[in-house]
Amino acid sequence: MNKKNKNNFTNDQLLKFYEKMFLIRKFEEKAAQLYGAGKIGGFCHLYIGQEAVVIGILSSINSEDTVITAYRDHGHILARGVDPKSVMAELTGRKDGISKGKGGSMHMFSKANRFYGGHGIVGAQVPLGVGIGFAHKYRNEKKISRVYLGDGAMSNGQVFEAFNLASLWELPVLFIIENNKYGMGTSIGRSAAGGELYERATVFGIKGEKVDGMNFFNVSESAIRAREYIEKNSKPYIIEMDTYRFRGHSMSDPGLYRTKDEVNKMKEIDPVLMMKETLLNDYKIQEDTIKDIESDIKKQIKDVEKFSLESPLPDLKELYTEVYL
Amino acid sequence: MKILLPALSPTMETGNLVKWLVKEGDSVVSGDILAEIETDKATMELESPDDGKVEKILVKEGTENISVNTEIALLKVDGEEIEEIPEVSIEKSPQVSSNGSEPLTTEENISMNSILNQTKENSGEKNWSEKEISMREALNQAIEEEMKLDKDVFLLGEEVAEYDGAYKVTQGLLDKFGSKRVLDTPISEHGFTGLAIGAAMAGLKPICEFMTFNFSMQAIDQIVNSAAKSLYMSGGEINVPIVFRGPNGAAARVGAQHSQCFISWFSHIPGLIVIAPSNARDAKGLLKSSIRNPNPVVFLEHELLYKEKTNVPEESDFLIPIGKGNLIKEGKDVTIIGFSMTVQRILNALPSIEKLGISPDIIDLRSIKPLDEELIYNSVKKTNRVVIVEDGFGSTSFGSHLSYLIQSNCFDFLDSEIIKVSGKDVPMPYAENLEKLALPNTDEIVSAVKKVSYIN
């Protein structure tokens, strides 16, 4: 456990980060419940286990930076500050969902929060995110395009085309590989040849590193290094996050490709619990303070659930709206 | 030895002799540059085919529109007299030109320009200041004008910048706008198409050129899944203002992988706008409208039309609205519907059709999606007979859908079956005669018109 706080966050800041991680955890647990109850349909990919990645990166983010990711996007859009009610109402396919019930779990966007989705085709978000970085550079904006991709996407051809373009045109892009060890049911060892995943980008001249993605502090430090590098050199950077998902690929995944022992062992380094322990032990934050935060979140999630179930289904006329602008 | 004007590109029919680099009496060796020839795409160097002495220059420099295979000089070859190999005579149908396709205008010569001038008079359109230019120049003007008007518009694609465009459509734009706004990409369609769509999501207005739409298949996932669907999936939050453009369909003798019409593919997708202009005027007006449109637009050009000229307004506020077809010839007996290259094929067939005493309505759709249904149905309700001409494969085609729409909206008005003249369901063959057979031709169009008119 990294006890140092190289980023000099105040206790209040750290508590905010913890609050966000806890919110994502509780939100996703509720989503799992609602899925089981038949209130959420289709595909539903939970972020449980990977919370330190998105919040660690968030801790370094310039609020103007943009974010794009693939289909495991609930945690990402919550981290960007979008109202959890509109996210859950999207999962239940209701009128008040962030995409008006027309996108679903995998397709949520918020321009106001600079979140560009929410994409269901593995790898496709990577060239798109490089394009967003292109727009930042074109307009001389001091923004970084943060592009998340999974270990599965790292064997997808367009990702390498995107690496080449980002490096060739010196675009302000931070690639973040969330290596949770499985592309659906296929382990990384059965899908990716060669060495570390991030090294595949280094052949295009992109600098990068591999980081313990279960530890908020490690993620945060790497993200700050990345931001400094990108700002100083006007070049892309890549971080490979060593992480793990505690739930299946999606809600309909029986998880036969890995053992219970493996999952339980990973749960010993649960990123949310580890963050909490660090706050208690190393930062001497009072247990009651944390408990208050947690009970507020639990209350909030109840409201979120209620909202998402009470919001009406989309009006039928919505079928034909927003095909064209 | 005769030096002939060579064909220096698949679509070259004529060339200009820019400059002689040798004079009569000069000794040359094989490979020496004899002259500069301007083709429809670029200025090329003509090399000496052998060692010898330039005996006579037959075509003066500065001469334009010299047909391919014209004798331009005589070379006295060193050493023995070289035996001329007699050319095997290939029987050609009179309508086959050197590049294997039908000539764009027949002997009776109904030019697109005269047709357009007529329709303009009828429609009482504003009087523009016009100049006769090629479709290639018209497209170039459209891009330049829109780039001047809106700094968010930029152009990317393979060879669009330093090479001046594979088909010269983007010629000169790099010099005018610089490398920040005119970008050569690697041969990486999936990547640069995704990049362009991402830039559009972030508010820029990319013009994404495919050297040909055949290569867009590498990127079709991004076009269909990212560009077309994002507005809907995001509940209206994210629009994608982008134009995908480039040549589509069969050029001339470029084989199966470079000769396909993708109109049916793209027009199948909700969220995409699909445009297919037949002439320079429409190309300019529609490309400008497409660049200004907030949706993804697939703008399908045709290589064989790039050099074709019509009068084109020079004003930068000249626009042609998306979704409006053009009744380019008004008649009463049958409605013939085409778009892009097939409009020219229909015009080629027109003299034969008129000789039968049949006066057709000819509709140039221009916009495939959205479709000008009103224009089509009004015509069909008048003529009661329909022929649709499309270059794409006939099976599950756009033309099939169009005939469905017509029968369901004009059922009581039809006096005959609807006939569709389509490309044959085979990969495009290379051989000249087979390629001609694979595409819709004049005879097929005339036969279709006869059949719907019950003329034997």
- Note the pLDDT of residue B92: 47
Same domain, B248 and B197: yes
- Do A164 and B188 lie within an 8 Å CB cutoff? yes
How far, in Å, CA of B263 to CA of B398, rounded? 7
Question: How does pLDDT run across B228-272, given as a tens digit for each residue?
Answer: 999 999 999 999 999 999 999 998 888 999 999 999 999 999 999
Pick among A86, A122, A134, A173 to test the B interface (most B CBs inside 10 A): A134
Q: B269: helix, coil or strand?
A: coil
CA distance A321 to chain B (A): 8
Nearest to B419 by CA among B445, B383, B455: B445
Q: Where are the alpha helices (DSSP H) in chain A?
A: 11-36, 51-58, 74-79, 84-91, 125-138, 157-168, 188-191, 199-202, 216-233, 260-267, 271-281, 287-310
- Do A127 and B197 lie within an 8 Å CB cutoff? yes
Same domain, B159 and B302: yes
Answer yes or no: are the C-beta atoms of B142 and B284 closer than 8 Å.
yes
State which of B34, B58, B77 marks the end of a domain: B77
Rounded to 5 degrees, what are φ and ψ at B311? -75, 135
Average pLDDT over residues B71-88: 72
- Note the pLDDT of residue B249: 94
- Do B236 and A161 lie within an 8 Å CB cutoff? no
- B71-75, B83-87, B204-208: which has the minimum mean pLDDT? B83-87
Map out the domains of chain A with their CATH numbers. 47-83+108-285 (3.40.50.970)
Which two structure tokens, joined as six digits, stand for B106?
């027949």
Strands B66-67 and B14-20: antiparallel
Same domain, B179 and B68: no
Per-residue 3-state assignment (H helix, E strand, C coil) for B104-141:
CCCCCCCCHHHHHHHHHHHHCCCCCCEEEEEHHHHHHH
Same domain, B203 and B262: yes
Catalytic (active site) residue B401: no
How far, in Å, CA of A132 to CA of A316, rounded? 33
- Residue B322 scores a pLDDT above 90: yes
Confidence of residue A283 (pLDDT cuts 50, 70, 90): very high
- Note the pLDDT of residue B31: 86
> What sign has the CA pseudo-torsion A128, B262, B13, B433?
positive
- Note the pLDDT of residue A47: 96
Q: Which residues of B touch A130 (CB under 8 A)?
A: 191, 194-195, 198
Cis peptide bond N-terminal to A118, omega within 30: yes
Question: For all residues of chain A together, what is the average pLDDT?
Answer: 95
ipTM score assigned to the predicted complex: 0.90
Average pLDDT over residues A68-94: 97
Average pLDDT over residues A217-236: 96
Same domain, B267 and B181: yes
Helices then strands, counting H and E runs in chain A, come out as: 12, 8
- Do A134 and B185 lie within an 8 Å CB cutoff? no
Catalytic (active site) residue B13: no
Across chain A, which distance is largest between two alpha carbons, in Å? 56
Domain presence at residue B103: no
Query: How many of the other CB atoms lie within 10 Å of CB of B395?
Result: 10
Strands B386-393 and B334-338: parallel
Q: Which residues of A touch B270 (CB under 8 A)?
A: 323
The residue segments making up the domain with residue B11 are 2-77
Same domain, B246 and B187: yes
Same domain, B131 and B270: yes
Answer yes or no: are the C-beta atoms of B422 and B390 closer than 8 Å.
yes
State which of B280, B313, B346 marks the end of a domain: B313
Cα atoms in the Cβ-side hemisphere of radius 13 Å centred on A198: 20
Domain presence at residue B36: yes
Average pLDDT over residues B97-118: 65
- Residue A215 scores a pLDDT above 90: yes
State which of B282, B313, B344 marks the end of a domain: B313
Cα atoms in the Cβ-side hemisphere of radius 13 Å centred on B190: 17
Contacts (Cβ under 8 Å, ≥6 apart) of B354: none
Q: Which residue has the higher pLDDT, B30 or A245?
A: A245
- Note the pLDDT of residue B109: 59
Domain presence at residue B87: no
Query: How many of the other CB atoms lie within 10 Å of CB of B232?
Result: 23
Q: Which of B194, B235, B271 sits opposite A162 (nearest CB)?
A: B194
Same domain, B214 and B148: yes
- Do B233 and A102 lie within an 8 Å CB cutoff? yes
Q: Which residues of B touch A120 (CB under 8 A)?
A: 225
Same domain, B160 and B235: yes
Closest chain A residue by Cα to residue B187: A161
Domain presence at residue B157: yes
Q: Which residue has the higher pLDDT, A272 or B29?
A: A272
Question: How does pLDDT run across A99-137, given as a tens digit for each residue?
Answer: 999 999 999 999 999 999 999 999 999 999 999 999 999
Domain presence at residue B105: no
Cis peptide bond N-terminal to B351, omega within 30: no
Chain A contact present for B220, CB below 8 A: no
Q: What is the H or E stretch that residue A119 is in?
A: none
Answer yes or no: are the C-beta atoms of A131 and B205 closer than 8 Å.
no
Q: Which residues of A touch B180 (CB under 8 A)?
A: 138
Q: Which of B190, B194, B238 sits opposite A116 (nearest CB)?
A: B238
Q: What is the H or E stretch that residue B191 is in?
A: helix B189-201
Same domain, B190 and B280: yes
- Note the pLDDT of residue A6: 64
Average pLDDT over residues A15-22: 98
Domain presence at residue B88: no
Which two structure tokens, joined as six digits, stand for A222?
């790497």
Number of domains in chain B: 3
Domain presence at residue B207: yes
Which two structure tokens, joined as six digits, stand for A15?
């508590």
- Do A158 and B190 lie within an 8 Å CB cutoff? yes
**CATH number of the domain that B431 lies in?**
3.40.50.920
Q: Which residues of B touch A168 (CB under 8 A)?
A: 186
Rg (CA), chain A: 19
CA distance B202 to chain A (A): 6
Which two structure tokens, joined as six digits, stand for B406?
């017509």
Q: Which of A100, A110, A128 sits opposite B194 (nearest CB)?
A: A128
**CATH number of the domain that B178 lies in?**
3.40.50.970
On whether the pTM is more than 0.80, the answer is yes
Answer yes or no: are the C-beta atoms of A132 and B201 closer than 8 Å.
yes
- Note the pLDDT of residue A1: 42
- Note the pLDDT of residue B86: 60
Question: Alpha carbon of B372 to those of B220, B321, B339, B368: distances in Å?
Answer: 26, 11, 12, 8
Average pLDDT over residues A78-95: 97
Average pLDDT over residues B263-284: 98
- Do B234 and A99 lie within an 8 Å CB cutoff? yes
Q: Which of B201, B232, B273 sits opposite A132 (nearest CB)?
A: B201
Same domain, B281 and B365: no
Question: Alpha carbon of B391 to those of A13, A212, B363, B397: distances in Å?
Answer: 64, 57, 16, 10
- Note the pLDDT of residue B97: 47
**CATH number of the domain that B13 lies in?**
2.40.50.100
* Partners of residue B300 on adjacent β-strands: B246
- Note the pLDDT of residue B258: 92
How far, in Å, CA of A212 to CA of A195, rounded? 17
* Partners of residue B246 on adjacent β-strands: B300
- Note the pLDDT of residue B77: 86
Question: How does pLDDT run across A137-193, given as a tens digit for each residue?
Answer: 999 999 999 999 999 999 999 999 999 999 999 999 999 999 999 999 999 999 999
* Partners of residue B182 on adjacent β-strands: B155
Question: Alpha carbon of B328 to those of B115, B132, B163: distances in Å?
Answer: 6, 18, 36
User: What is the number of CB-based contacts under 8 A between chain A and chain B?
Assistant: 144
Q: Which residues of A touch B161 (CB under 8 A)?
A: none
Q: How far is CA A18 from the centre of its chain?
A: 15
Question: Alpha carbon of B145 to those of A132, B275, B320, B371: distances in Å?
Answer: 25, 19, 15, 26
Task: Kindly report each contact of residues A281-290 with a partner whose C-beta sits within 8 Å and lies 24 or more positions away, as own/partner.
Answer: A282/A3, A283/A5, A283/A11, A283/A14, A285/A11, A285/A14, A285/A15, A289/A15, A290/A15, A290/A18
- A51-65, A158-172, B195-209: which has the minimum mean pLDDT? A51-65
Same domain, B407 and B432: yes
Answer yes or no: are the C-beta atoms of A24 and A31 closer than 8 Å.
no
